[in-house]
Amino acid sequence: MSALTSSLQFSASPYRIVGVGNAGVNFLDHLLLNNPFFLGLVALNNDLDALTSSVVPMQLALPPEQELLAALEEVLPRFEAEIQGASVILFCAGLGGETASTLLPHLAAAAKKAKKLTLACVTQPFSFEGKRAQSLAAEAASSLKQICDGVVILDNNQVASSGASKAGLGETFTASDEAMQVFLPNMVAMLSSKGPVRINRSHLLKALSRAGEKNYFGYGQASGSNRLHEAVERLFKSPQLQGGRVLAKCSAIFMQLRGPKDLSFAEAQAAMQEVERVVGEESDIQLSVSAEEPAGAALQIFILAVEEKEEKKEIIPNVEKISASIPKKSEPSEPSPAAPVPKASIAELPLDLLELNLPEEPVEFQKSAASKPVTKVKQTQGALNFTAAQRGRFDKSEPTIVEGEDLDTPTYLRLGLKLI
């Protein structure tokens, strides 16, 4: 997994990636360990032991869970100081825990109030974490959707299902960390793409801000003469994409192709054709191409797809419950999730937020990642891909995709027929 993001170069930090809670800080640690040049990371946690062992340079220690809301008045100004100077705030956290689920909507509201482009990338808890965690996560996700410009929710259960059924608990959590480790840098790169072919940020935000949507992403990279084909093949083997099947039902697909300077027009064209072949030509695919990676870097392809679900029943955010416990504010203008900051339409966003101009000079580290005692994360062998395992003898052959379905997978499995 280290190779996935190691070639990324981020020369500036017009954005902040804010990890909240244990999971959020874990995501940032993984990110930084694999790419020490990653800037603009902020860790917020009330687990002081975890925070001390974190390699994230900017840290904000939070009070214990029971005092969290009471101490908001103290926490928020410190947080606002950390995000000063940035124009994009990307929150990452694992919902379901008390810290992230409670605090994240407040932090997002503060960022939004400071006129930052506010995005959240959060994971839903594993089903074995219990109903309370699920309920907390649902409430927090709902609040975030109302506050943020865009929310990406990754389903941990889906990530876990791609692994072996007997995978250890640690491996399962690592899979979730790794998924985020792929997602975050690619999301940032997508937001700050500068090439001649780039994704319209307002379209991206519009897609991510739709209520009731479900997000999927996939990633593949490869080098060598057949790099594009191999990268696309790996992309569709990403656990969330299920061989590309899910893309067929997505209303918006954002694809990012990055590579060294020798990335050719034909490769970009072929990438589009390969993806169109799977998802259907009528699909709304937006492409961003960047050939600014260092020479010899792998060709990387990343897809973020948004499925617009039919809303059965809108979850009413229980922000009252959260706000009830907040101490009375002396000033009525204090931000509060109870009265979420009205989401500015994309057209109302300041121009500099929609078209970021990244400074050319790298920003210095506030705290060197190397100065921390780095606990080396054990790299484990990837679990066998579920979809690939079900293709049997066709595992290594070109898939037969019709309308997003991989027909090499046994028909009875795709139809859900039970063999008694």
> Which span (69-77, 284-292, 347-355, 397-405) binds other proteins, by CB under 8 A?
397-405
Amino acid at 7: S
* Three-state DSSP class for residue 217: strand
Rule CB under 8 A: say whether 413 interacts with other proteins: yes
> Which span (64-72, 233-241, 363-371, 409-417) binds other proteins, by CB under 8 A?
409-417
Closer residue to other proteins (CB): 295 or 420: 420
Closer residue to other proteins (CB): 267 or 293: 267
Closer residue to other proteins (CB): 127 or 400: 400
Question: Of residues 362-391, which lie at the interface with other proteins (CB under 8 A)?
Answer: 390-391
- In the complex, least distance from residue 388 CB atom to other proteins, rounded to whole angstroms: 12
* Strand ranges in 109-251 using DSSP code E only, listed in sequence order: 117-124, 150-155, 213-222
Rule CB under 8 A: say whether 281 interacts with other proteins: no
Closer residue to other proteins (CB): 314 or 398: 398
Closer residue to other proteins (CB): 16 or 391: 391
Among 168, 394, 404, 406, binds other proteins (CB under 8 A): 394
Rule CB under 8 A: say whether 393 interacts with other proteins: yes
Whether the CB-CB separation of 86 and 40 falls below 8 Å is answered with yes
Rule CB under 8 A: say whether 407 interacts with other proteins: yes
Taking CA 17 as the corner, what is the angle to CA 12 and CA 19, rounded to the nearest 5 degrees?
A: 150
Closer residue to other proteins (CB): 99 or 409: 409
Whether the CB-CB separation of 302 and 217 falls below 8 Å is answered with yes
- What DSSP element (H or E) covers 207? helix 201-209
Amino acid at 307: E
Counting Cα atoms < 13 Å in the Cβ hemisphere of 353 gives 22
Rule CB under 8 A: say whether 406 interacts with other proteins: no
DSSP one-letter string for 34-76? H-TT---EEEEES-HHHHHH---SEEEE---HHHHTTTHHHHH
- In the complex, least distance from residue 224 CB atom to other proteins, rounded to whole angstroms: 17
Among 108, 402, 404, 406, binds other proteins (CB under 8 A): 402
- In the complex, least distance from residue 200 CB atom to other proteins, rounded to whole angstroms: 28
Rule CB under 8 A: say whether 415 interacts with other proteins: yes
Rule CB under 8 A: say whether 164 interacts with other proteins: no
Rule CB under 8 A: say whether 347 interacts with other proteins: no
Closer residue to other proteins (CB): 316 or 419: 419
**Helix/strand/coil (H/E/C) assignment for every residue in 378-402:** CCCCCCCCHHHHCCHHHCCCCCCEE
Closer residue to other proteins (CB): 313 or 393: 393
Sign of the CA dihedral 216, 110, 311, 177? positive
* Three-state DSSP class for residue 91: strand
Residues 6+ apart with CB under 8 A from 72: 106, 326, 327
Closer residue to other proteins (CB): 70 or 417: 417
Rule CB under 8 A: say whether 392 interacts with other proteins: yes
Q: How far apart are the first and last CA of the chain?
A: 39
Distance CA 333, CA 336 (A): 9
- In the complex, least distance from residue 390 CB atom to other proteins, rounded to whole angstroms: 6
Distance CA 210, CA 146 (A): 10
- Residues contacting other proteins: total by CB under 8 A: 19
**Site residues, other proteins (CB under 8 A):** 390-394, 397-398, 400, 402, 407-408, 410-413, 415, 417, 419-420
